[in-house]
Structure 1
Amino acid sequence: MQVQNLIERCMLFHMSQDQCIRALAEHAGIKPLVTVTVWKELQKENKEFFRAYLQVVTPRPLFMSRCFQRRPNLARRKHWK
């Protein structure tokens, strides 16, 4: 239960699984294997939540973020013509 609560706290800070594992090992003295095991069990119980969470936490490649930034500008240019 304690590890689960700490994982949930990490998630409030939008930490990835790797970041969470490192933080719990460094700050709470929890072995990485324990964190990974609890994380996997939480994933099994809450598949949809973790699918959505990973989309938010996973960084987009640089070229994709540039495309998303330019798209609104292109839409504005069409209105000028």
Structure 2
Amino acid sequence: MSKNTDYPVTSAVRFLRTHQIDFEPYIYVYEEHGGTGQFAQLFGVDEHRVVKTIVLQNEAKKGLVVVMHGDRQISTRNLARDLG
């Protein structure tokens, strides 16, 4: 388990620690609009293997979290249609 504290301790990091789940943080300088492509290039991995999280909210203020491959795009119009 990662004991290094040279990175931000987020709720996700706290969860992993609490549940004794091994993890390795990847620290990099944020680049505006760099997205998963920036991460994939910096760490030499296929962008498809990078996971991204999209947080959405409808007009009724109900939330939805979408977790998807980094090389994919979401159509909010199609998603709204699919969800009714």
TM-score normalised by structure 2 residue count: 0.26
Of structures 1 and 2, the one scoring higher in RCO (CA 8 A, sep 6+) is: 1
Name whichever structure is richer in strand by fraction.
2
TM-score by length of 1: 0.26
- Which of these two proteins has the greater Rg computed from alpha carbons? 1
Q: Which has the higher helix share?
A: 1
